[in-house]
Structure 1
């Protein structure tokens, strides 16, 4: 009999299972992505500025990883940065977003990835508002918005779809 309970060593401080998808789960998740989502999430692309569908999203809720459903940012940390991409001052849980040094395009930046599925989300910069001073500049296609009161996505069936 398989134990379906998550290993507590893989739980974030806020209680989400951060165990990476296995090969079969990853194939299923990636098959559900459209071409633009694949380009951004899997190939570390960037959507054009000022065209993302979540740029103007102002409802109360949470922004989750488009690929695996992990909650990444709350609406109350979103702010208008003028950059053309949704910007947030802090993640739902620091353990949900991992930082990777990105040396592409002749620059040194900090790439942000989902801590569970490793999908590219965007970049973080040290020019955000207090108290964090950070600006998480995230691609709209890398996120799914869930309005307050709605169930969170749970494409891995891990019980993370709590409201």
Structure 2
């Protein structure tokens, strides 16, 4: 066994980080990789929907907000949403998959992941972790959650 070989979780998380570099959001870059049977089935990053101009300092309505309640002002699609959308667009089933995401999913993404049949979330950075309803939904849906840290 090669001691320099990275484990499979690190492999997919590093890919999620690379995917995040495609983000068009000026506030935060997030990447997601949807995996089934140790194979990538879709990727996604946050940014404006297809065909919509990217955010700029002049057009971003959330740039100077800190409140999670202002998330409805964002024109962007989240990385997790884009990964699910890409899988659907290409006719790839997501049931039984695991999502590797640079940031823990928001409440909207959690509901989408549950309905898409995702069975696991592997994340690196915490986000809105004290949201009891979000955590209860994940527990009730039986979704496995793991945090990992990778070296860049």
Q: Is TM more than 0.5 here? A: no
TM-score range, shorter chain: under 0.3
More helix as a share of residues: 2
The structure with higher relative contact order (CA 8 Å, sep 6+) is: 1
Q: Give the TM-score of the pair, scaled to structure 2.
A: 0.26
More strand as a share of residues: 1
